[in-house]
Amino acid sequence: MCGIIGFTGNIPAKDIILNGLERLEYRGYDSAGLALLENGEVTLHKRTGKVEALRNLCASDDNSATCGIGHTRWATHGGVTDVNAHPHHAGNVVLIHNGIIENYRQLIVEYGLADKLVSETDSEVVAQLLNIFYEGDPIAAIKKTIKLLSGAFALCIMFKDIPDKIFAIRNVSPMIATHCDQGSIIASDLTAVIAFTKDYFVVPEYHILTLTKDEIVVEDLKGHVTKPEILTVNWDIEGAQKGGYPFFMLKEIFEQPDAIRNTVSPRVEDGLPSFEEDGIDDAIFEHCKRITIVACGTAMHAGMVGKQLIEEKLRIPVQVEIASEFRYKNPIIDENTLTIVLSQSGETIDTLEALKLAKTFGSKVLSIVNVKGSTIARESDYVLYTHAGPEIAVASTKAYTVQVAAMYLIACRLGLVKNIITETMARQFISKLLSAPNIIEETLKQAEEIKRIANQIKLSPDAFYIGRGLDYVMGLEAALKLKEISYVHAEAYAAGELKHGTIALITENVPVIAFATQEKVYDKVISNIVEVKARGAYVVLVSMDESVTDTKVCDCHIRIPRLDSEFTTFATAVILQMIAYYTSEAKGLDVDKPRNLAKSVTVE
């Protein structure tokens, strides 16, 4: 996710901005830049690469400017290039932006900006619009521009002819601000400001901030000045990077709504899935007769969701392969097979080697990767980057759900290109996918109930996840999550298979978490639950059913919002992640760094 920082005060701004950008590096980025304003002149440096490289670039500047803005870019619209880096400069305006302007293409056409633009970014479009509307009144120009934008944005803006002032406004994308002895500071999060002060305020949405060295004025769009509540942090720098959460994993669980918005929204055009920006050729979907999905661990589990969707809806055969197995078999793939590779890090050696093997059989490779420019991305024919931001915890959460979201987009695009589904069906499907972030936000509210369940599960050396169809696939991910961070030996089982042996392991108080969100097999799963309950299991039921209160069926019930069965995965994902997280936390374990595990398995 991009990082932004702005400073105006009574000391030079350059090092404050560079140091702040370094503190924001954990957010993940591929480019960095800054702009300093002094005597009506703008000194602007920006390039791909690290903040350190930017610091070197600015080293010779003897700029004593006390007003400036800085940015670390996590590319969404437009490739990783110097010109796409921020800040963007258009006439009188210099700005930095974190977010996604969903209607930027339409604005380019409406305001005839095509010949003015030098970058491929949505952010530059905002700079150009501000410059068009700016006739000496910055607030008026900002109001006019903001009315046109749809999407998420956190903007810091300087006007060349307005010395020592920074203007800012946000919608959805995060931004905090503070005034201290040195001046006024605004940033994406606390990490960049905590070195100066622990008092800050959250920038209210759709309020225009005017930062000067003496104060920060906050006014709503009607010009009413407001005073946001001042908050105080009790974190150190490392804590700030966790955004106040005790572990990165919990922070990343709660980042999932935005991660999915940032991954899906840029790929929806007029309500339909579009990979135009990604340069993914529809031909790979048109010509494929079958699909092979290759990955490891959680990434593979995301691929298994894709298998269920594609086979169920499109009747196209999908084979999911464990990369370390696939590498050493003689795979049955050819030029009519589309190989989809999933990897958060883009560096998993087994997945990389499997990708190379697939290509030797003439198969086109589309990879779903979260780290830009990673090896798997570079080796693939096509890449669909997820925009989850950096995932620090070893246990993958937000990277998993954005991989799942990417599979939904691919399934929909595949069905459209092959004329298996109509545009109307595709629009309905995409509209349900766009509501996934809200479903997750709703489900996250059950954290307290899940904590109570975790306190029961932590007492047991074993646990079972059961389900059918998509719920069984989610059970596989649930078992892995619980094992890898709480060390409870968990196993996922197709609910109908339990009585063919494994039910022998069900004894008093053994936790059995049943996912029962698939309507057509709901009653079957309930009867499987009754079987294990009768043998003393501690049963957690996860379903959409409001009516379940009978303790003969379950010991506790986590209800998820009523949805189409094929879209319950996002709610189930958050529940399984929170069960694992709170069990590990209840056991006093290091949730982010579980024993024996690495974030990226770059060795065989």
297 counts as binding ligand AGP under rule CB under 6 A: yes
Q: State in angstroms the smallest separation of the CB of 397 from ligand AGP.
A: 8
Torsion sign, CA atoms 237, 238, 239, 240? positive
Query: At closest approach, how far in Å is the CB of 266 from ligand AGP?
Result: 21
Q: Does 299 bind ligand AGP (CB under 6 A)?
A: yes
According to the binding rule CB under 6 A, does residue 210 interact with ligand AGP?
A: no
* The only residue of 130, 141, 185, 394 in contact with ligand AGP, by rule CB under 6 A: 394
Stretches 331-339, 392-400, 433-441, 530-538: which one binds ligand AGP (CB under 6 A)? 392-400
Instruction: Residue 321: name the closest of 347, 349, 343, 301 by CA.
Output: 301
Residue 348 near ligand AGP by CB under 6 A = yes
Region of 43-51, 281-289, 326-334, 339-347 interacting with ligand AGP (CB under 6 A):
339-347
Question: Residues with Cβ < 8 Å from 234, sequence gap 6 or more?
Answer: 198
Q: How far is residue 405's CA from residue 421's CA, in Å, rounded to a whole number?
A: 18
Retrieve residue 228's tokens: 């946001």
| From 290-298, 435-443, 447-455, 494-502, span contacting ligand AGP (CB under 6 A) | 290-298
**Cβ atoms < 10 Å from Cβ of 508:** 8
Q: Check binding of 548 to ligand AGP (CB under 6 A).
A: no
Residue 586 main-chain phi, psi, to 5 deg? -65, -25
Q: Which residue is nearest to ligand AGP (CB)?
A: 297
Task: Based on the shown chain and the rule CB under 6 A, indicate whether residue 380 belongs to the binding site for ligand AGP.
Answer: no
Q: 445 Cβ partners below 8 Å, 6+ apart?
A: none
Buried-state track 429-464, b at ≥16 Cβ within 10 A, e below 16: bbeebbebbebbeebbebbebbbebbebbbebeebb
Q: Is 396 in the site for ligand AGP (CB under 6 A)?
A: yes
Residues 461-490, interacting with ligand AGP (CB under 6 A): 484
Per rule CB under 6 A, is residue 395 in the interface with ligand AGP?
yes
Among 345, 375, 401, 486, binds ligand AGP (CB under 6 A): 345
Element (H, E) at 37: strand 31-38
Q: How far is the CB of 423 from ligand AGP (least distance, A)?
A: 33
Report angle CA 298, 540, 486 to the nearest 5 degrees. Answer: 45
Is 98 a binder of ligand AGP (CB under 6 A)? no
Q: Among 13-21, 34-42, 251-259, 337-345, which window interacts with ligand AGP (CB under 6 A)?
A: 337-345
Could you tell me how many residues of this chain bind ligand AGP (CB under 6 A)?
A: 15
Is 599 a residue of the active site? Answer: yes
Question: Residue 62's CB: how many other CB atoms inside 10 A?
Answer: 6
> Are residues 99 and 172 in contact, defined by beta-carbon separation less than 8 angstroms?
yes
DSSP string, 322-352: EHHHHTTS-----TTEEEEEEESSS--HHHH
CB of 376 to ligand AGP, least distance (A): 8
Shortest distance in whole angstroms from residue 212 CB to ligand AGP: 45
Question: By rule CB under 6 A, what string of x and - marks binding of each residue 240-279 to ligand AGP?
Answer: ----------------------------------------
**Residue 556 among the catalytic residues:** no
Report the relative pairing of strands 88-90 and 93-101 from DSSP bridges. Answer: antiparallel
Nearer to ligand AGP, 294 or 537 (CB): 294
CA 222, 224, 225, 227 torsion: positive or negative?
negative
Task: Answer whether the bond into residue 246 is a cis peptide, omega within 30°.
Answer: no
Minimum distance, C-beta of residue 346 to ligand AGP, in the bound complex (Å): 7
What is the nearest approach in angstroms of ligand AGP to the Cβ of residue 583? 15
Q: Active-site residue among 359, 418, 483, 599?
A: 599
Q: Is 577 in the site for ligand AGP (CB under 6 A)?
A: no
375 binds ligand AGP (CB under 6 A): no
Rounded distance, CA 410 to CA 305, Å?
12
Of 250-258, 276-284, 389-397, 549-557, which part binds ligand AGP (CB under 6 A)?
389-397
Q: How far apart are CA 323 and CA 212, in angstroms?
A: 55
Partners of 375 in the beta sheet? none
Task: Tell me the closest approach of the beta carbon of residue 248 to ligand AGP, in angstroms.
Answer: 13
Site string for ligand AGP, 62-81 (x = CB under 6 A): --------------------
Q: Which of 2, 288, 296, 412 is catalytic?
A: 2
Indicate the residue among 156 and 580 with the shorter CB distance to ligand AGP: 580
Q: Smallest gap, in angstroms, from Cβ of residue 403 to ligand AGP? A: 8
Please compute Rg for the chain using Cα positions. 25
Is the link from the previous residue into 87 a cis peptide, with omega within 30 of 0? yes
Cβ 399 to ligand AGP shortest distance, Å: 7
User: Min. distance of Cβ 494 from ligand AGP in angstroms?
Assistant: 21
Interacting stretch for ligand AGP, rule CB under 6 A, among 272-280, 295-303, 411-419, 498-506?
A: 295-303
Amino acid of residue 407: M
157 belongs to the binding site for ligand AGP (CB under 6 A)? no
Pick one of 344, 380, 446, 568: the residue that binds ligand AGP (CB under 6 A): 344
Residue 162 in tokens: 């307005």
Closest alpha carbon to 483 in 296, 349, 297, 252: 297
Burial of 50 (0-12, 13-18, 19+ CB in 10 A): middle
Q: Is 601 in the site for ligand AGP (CB under 6 A)?
A: yes
The closest alpha carbon to 243, from 135, 392, 53, belongs to 392
User: Binding of ligand AGP at residue 343 (CB under 6 A)?
Assistant: yes
Q: Are 432 and 564 in contact (CB under 8 A)?
A: yes
The window from 213-221, 341-349, 501-509, 584-592 that contacts ligand AGP (CB under 6 A) reads 341-349
Cβ proximity of 277 and 77 under 8 Å: yes
Contact 54, 32 (CB under 8 A): yes
SS3 content of the chain, % helix, strand, coil (to 5): 40, 25, 35
Binding site for ligand AGP (CB under 6 A): 296-299, 343-345, 348, 351, 394-396, 484, 600-601
Q: Which residues are catalytic?
A: 2, 599
